[in-house]
Structure 1
C-alpha cells in the first residue's frame, strides 16, 4: 500500500491520534530532552551508535533508540524484528522512561515511514542528520521525491537554532535538499553543516579499522569503508555541538562495532564479515570497502538475497555483487509470500549482466548435501570466472546451507561476506517469522568445519 492510498492516509491520522494520546499520557517527555534524529537510506544504525558512544564516553547521560535496540540507562530493550521507528504508543513511553532515569540526550534512529506516518509527533529535535537519500522503499512512497520529502521532515521538526548535518557527497539529495531549505526559508531558523569526504586527509584503511584527519584533528576508528567515513563525519559534526574535540577523538578509538555492521567474526584462516547491506547503494559501498582490504590473489565470496514484497529494484544487487565478487551465493532474505526461487532468478539475471556464471541451484538441504562435494572442489579450482550458486528452499535451511557452502569454498586469505540479516532474529517465509541468527549460523558452521 502506497503512502497516497486513502487507507494509508487514514492510518496516518490514526497514528497521529495515538501519538497525541501517548504524549498526553506521558507528559510530552521530549520537551525535557535533547533529541538527536538520525535518518537516511543507509548508515542510520551505525551513525546512531557512534553518536551515542561518543556522548556516553564524554560523560553525558544519553539513551538511544535504534533498529537493534533501545538503550535506557543500564537497561536494553529489543525494539522488534523488522522495525526501525517504534509504534506511536512506544516512542513517548521510551522517552518518558529515559527522562525518569535522568537521561538528558537521546539519539533516535528515524525511518522515512516513521516520520511520514506521524509516529514521531510531539518531538522537536535539537539536532538531526540525513546520512544519504538513495532509491528505496518506493513500494510505499511511490517516488524518490516522496521518499526524500519524508526524510526531510527531520529538518522541519528541528527546534529554532537546531543543528542539521548533511552529506555533500550524496549529490542527488544534496541538490534537492539545498532547494528545499531555500524554498522553506529554514537557513535563518536552523544551523546547517555540510560534510564531504574530500575534507579528509591522511586516510588509511585496513581490516582492523581506519584513520584520517578532519579539520586538522586526527581520528582513529575500528570500522572500515568509505560509507563509514561518511557516518563518522556525520557523528563528529553532531557531537561537536555537545562535547569537545578531544573527547570525540578518544571515544571513537573505543567505538564498539554495532552488531552486524561490517562486523569481523573471524580473521583466520579466512575472514568472515557479517553486515546489514540490503540495498543496492549499501551493498556497493560495503563490497567496495571489503575489496580495498582484500589481500591480492584472494577471493571475495558474497552471500546475500533480496526481500519479498519490498522494492523490486533491490534485486539489481545481483549485478553489484558480480562487479566485486569472485563467487556469489544467493539465498533467502525474508521472501515473505513471494517464491524464493523467483526472487533468486531475478537476482541471477542481473548478475549475469556482469558475466557471472550460474553453476547450479540447490532445491533443498538434501539436494545440497548430496551434490555439494563436487561444486566445492570445482570452486576451489576456479581461477578466473565469477561463479554463482543459488539456494532455493523455502526454509531457513536455505540460508544456513548457503553460509556453509561459502565457508566450504573459502581458502586461506579469502573473505566471506554475509549480508542482509545482521542483527535481525528471524527469517520471514509466508506470513511467519521463523527464528534465525546469522551469528549463530556462522558459529555452527565454524564448529562443524573444525570438528571434521
Structure 2
C-alpha cells in the first residue's frame, strides 16, 4: 500500500503539514505496520506506542536500522536530537495505530457484522455462548476473547495475556474473517481496550454488557471513569451505519445491573434488555439451579424458549440471557437457541472441575474480582456438604482497593483460605498478600488458624488440599485458563489445572478411569 493512502486514513490531523520537516516520498510502498520495533520489516511503518514500562520512541533507532520508512508517534520527548528516520507527530498515537491498521487491512469491519462484549465479569463466557448459538444457526463467526480465539469452527488458546489485543492484531483478524467469507466477528472489548482505542474502527453493530462492578481502578482511578470507558462501546453503535449486510444495530443491556442506568443514555440504537429479577424484554423465569446443570424458561418479546444447559450458577443464567438476547436480536430462531444452549459443556477455566479420585471437589475458576468471587462461592456453597476452602490472590500493579475487599469476602464466606500469588509483576509479592490479609483480619479471622499466606502458588494449592476432607470444596480462583504467571516482567509457565492434578497425585489421589 502506498504511504499516502495510509496517512490519509489518519482522522485527527493532516500529515502534509509535517512533510516539509521530514523528507519522505508519500508514493513509496509500505509493506507492513509494527508497534514492536523487533517486528519492523524493510519498507515498513513503525508506530511508537507508549507502554507501561517503556515507550516506543526509545526504539526509533532500532526501527530505522531494520528498514522502517517512517515512524509515527506523539510529540517527541526530546528536542535535542533529530529522530533517525522521518517522523510524523500525532495527538493520539493509539487512535492513529487503529486508523492505520484498518486502512492497511482494507477496512474489514465495514464488511462484517461486529459484536462487542464488555463488562467486569462474564465477558468470555458470554462471548463463547454467542459464538455457539450463531454456529448452531449456521452463522459462521470468528471470536476473540481473554481465553480463546475461534475462526469458522477452529479454536485455539489466547496465550497473549491480553483480553483485548492491540488494534493491529484485531484488524488483521477481522481481515482474515473477510477473506474466509465469515460474516460475524465477536470481540471481547475490555475497558482498557475501549479506553486505549484498541477497538477503534471495529464499527460495532451490536454492543453487549454483562455487568459493571469493582475492577481496574489502578488504571481508571475512579469507578465513574471505569463506567465511562465501558460506555464507549455503546457510543460506537451508529443507527445510521449501513454496511449493506444483514446486521441489526442493537444494544444488549442487563436490566438487573447498575450498568443499565449508566449505559442507557449513551445508546442511540434500539435497546434489548435482559434480566432475571427485573422485568425485561428477555427474561428468565422458573429457574432450576442444579449441581450439574441449569434449566429455565426464557420469555421473549414474541415467544419463549425452554433452556437446558450444563452451565451452573445464577450468574451463568445472566450470561446465557445476554447471549440469547444477542442471538434473538439478529434473527436466530428459538429452536436454534434451545439447541445451541443444550450443546454447551462449559468454558475453559470457568467453574472447571478437577477430578483425580479425591473425596473433595476441586474447582478452577477465573474469578479475580470481588463480585465474581462472591458469585462463584454462592454457586458452590449449596453444593458443598463440608467446608469451603479458597486459594486466591490479587494481581500486582493492578487495582489496590480491591485487595482488602477480597480478604473480607474470603473471611466471611469460607471456612479456610490460602492467600497466594496471582501475578505479582514488579510489586513486592509479600506486600500484596499482607494487604489482602488485612481485610480478613479486620473481619475477625486469625492467620495460622483461619487462613495462611503462602506466596508460592504451588505450595498454596498443596496446603489447601492437605486441609481438605471428604465433602469439602476447594476453589482455586484468579487464574482460570491462563497459561502463565507474571513474576517481575517475565511470564513463567503456569496452569492451575495442571498444578492441581500434580498436587493431588502427590498426595496419593489418582483418577481411576
Please tell me the TM-score bracket, short chain as reference: 0.7 to 0.9
**Among 218, 223, 230, the residue aligned to 1:151:** 230
- Root mean square deviation of aligned Cα: 2.3
Q: Which residue of 2 aligns with 1:290?
A: 380
SS in 2 for 1:240: helix
Contact 2:191 2:230 in 1 (8 A): yes
**Deviation for aligned residue 1:2:** 12
Counterpart in 1 of 2:489? 431
Contact residue 354 and residue 501 of structure 2 kept, 8 A? no
Q: Distance in 2 between matches of 1:2 and 1:133?
A: 26
**Would you say the 8 A contact 1:12–1:117 is kept in 2?**
no
Match of 2:218 in 1: 139
Larger Rg: 2
1:141-190 per-position Cα deviation (integer Å, ceiling 9, x unaligned): 1221111111111111113161111112112x222223x24xxxx4xx41
CA distance in 2, matches of 1:107, 1:405: 40
**1:416 paired residue number:** 474
1:356 aligns with 2:445: yes
Q: 1: CA distance between counterparts of 2:446 and 2:486? A: 28
Match of 2:362 in 1: 272
Q: Distance in 2 between matches of 1:124 and 1:411?
A: 52
Cα distance, 1:352 vs structure 2: 1.9
Deviation at 1:265, TM superposition (A): 2.1
Q: CA deviation at 1:137?
A: 1.2
Q: Give the 3-state SS of the residue equivalent to 1:253 in structure 2.
A: helix
Give the TM-score taking structure 1 as reference length.
0.86
In the other structure, the counterpart of 1:369 is none
Q: Which residue of 2 aligns with 1:204?
A: 288
Q: Which residue of the other structure, out of 328, 331, 334, is the alignment partner of 2:417?
A: 328
For 1:67, what is the secondary structure of its paired residue?
coil
The reply to whether residue 170 of structure 1 matches residue 170 of structure 2 is no
Counterpart position of 2:12 = none
Structure 1 partner of 2:133: 54
Secondary structure of 1:248's counterpart equals helix
Q: 2:394·2:421 contact (CA, 8 Å) conserved in 1?
A: yes
Q: Which runs of 5+ in 1 are unaligned?
A: 361-386, 393-397
Aligned to 2:500: 442
Q: Contact 2:307–2:342 at 8 Å: present in 1 too?
A: yes
Q: 1:210-359 to 2 correspondence within 5 Å?
A: 210-215=294-299, 216-242=304-330, 243-266=332-355, 269-295=359-385, 298-315=386-403, 316-359=405-448
Helix, strand or coil at the partner of 2:211:
coil
Q: Separation in 1 of the partners of 2:94 and 2:132?
A: 31
The CA distance in 1 between the partners of 2:262 and 2:207, in whole Å, is: 17
Higher relative contact order (CA 8 A, sep 6+): 1
In structure 1, C-alpha distance between the alignment counterparts of 2:509 and 2:129, rounded to whole Å: 38
SS at match of 1:158: coil
Structure 2: stretches of 5+ with no match in the other structure? 1-49, 57-72, 75-89, 240-247, 278-282
Q: Which of residues 78, 86, 89 in structure 1 aligns to 2:165? A: 86
Question: 1:69/1:228 Cα in 2 relative to 1: closer, same or farther (>3 Å)?
Answer: same
The alpha-carbon distance between structure 1 residues 17 and 415, as it changes in their structure 2 partners (threshold 3 A), is same
| 1:12 positional shift | 8.1
| Distance change in 2, residues 1:84/1:69 (3 Å) | same
In structure 2, relative to structure 1, the CA distance for the partners of 1:226 and 1:451 (3 Å cut) is: closer
Q: When you count helix as a share of all residues, which structure comes out higher? A: 1
Query: Of 42, 61, 85, which residue of structure 1 is paired with 2:121?
Result: 42
Secondary structure in 1 aligned to 2:296?
strand
Q: Secondary structure of 1:93's partner?
A: helix
